[in-house]
Amino acid sequence: MGTKPSRSGQLPINGLSLYHEVYGELGKSKVSPLLLIPGAFMATDSMKSWAAAFAGKRAVIIFDQQGHGRTPDASRKMSYEQFADDAAALLHALKVERADVMGYSQGGGVALQLALRHPALVDKLVSLSATYRQDGWYPSELKGIEGLSAKAFAGTPVEKAFKEHTPDAKAFDAYLEKMKSSTSMTRTSATRRCVRFLRRRWSSSVMRMA
């Protein structure tokens, strides 16, 4: 069917004007739709080839997280938990009762939180190259994130997409600071509960996407 979405646009989700795309027709197949969640600073365009790979057998949903792609930033804080709640609200808005969920990098962490916070919405779960605890990262990774500035994104698709809906340079700086703070995951009881829950809910470490 190619890579063109059957529907796309903005939806009012938790105070955001959230951009999403749907490939195929929701509710027309017995196979659960697939929700794809991009990584940090990535948007729906980064998942086009993924959508094309799966859309022949199932409906595929992709969305731009807060401040990413065509979803403008908002005054609220950023966190994996908040992004997961946004994903859940999007599924409800699209009248999707259950979905297979696959997330990459930051999107993988969001997928984990979606399964933890909204388990009734998640069927199969695939988390790729994701983290759920900060103490497992190399110190150089944290140092690199702390040193991120707007200069690193000058002329990139990330900056261009943001400034198309919010041209204010100070707004982009504020977005970067919130993104940096959203990676502040610590070894808490919440993260330990996440691992215990996932082990109970999905006993196999390898899940086949039909």
Both tokens assigned to 92: 């409800």
> What's the rounded mean pLDDT across residues 26-32?
89
The topology (CATH level 3) of 7-199 is Rossmann fold (3.40.50)
Neighbours of 51 (CB within 10 A): 24
pLDDT at 207: 43
Mean pLDDT of the chain: 87
- End-to-end alpha-carbon separation of the chain, Å? 18
Per DSSP, helices labelled H in 94-155 are 106-117, 139-146
Q: Which amino acid is at 185?
A: M
Query: What does the pLDDT look like over 117-172, one tens digit per residue?
Result: 999 999 999 999 887 677 777 888 888 888 888 999 999 999 999 999 999 989 99
pLDDT at 195: 62
| Boundaries of every domain in the chain | 7-199
| Distances 130 to 44, 146, 154 between C-alpha atoms, Å | 18, 19, 26
Note whether 10 and 17 are within 8 A (CB).
yes
Longest pairwise C-alpha distance within the chain: 47
Percent of the chain with pLDDT over 90: 69
Residue carrying structure tokens 């529907």:
7
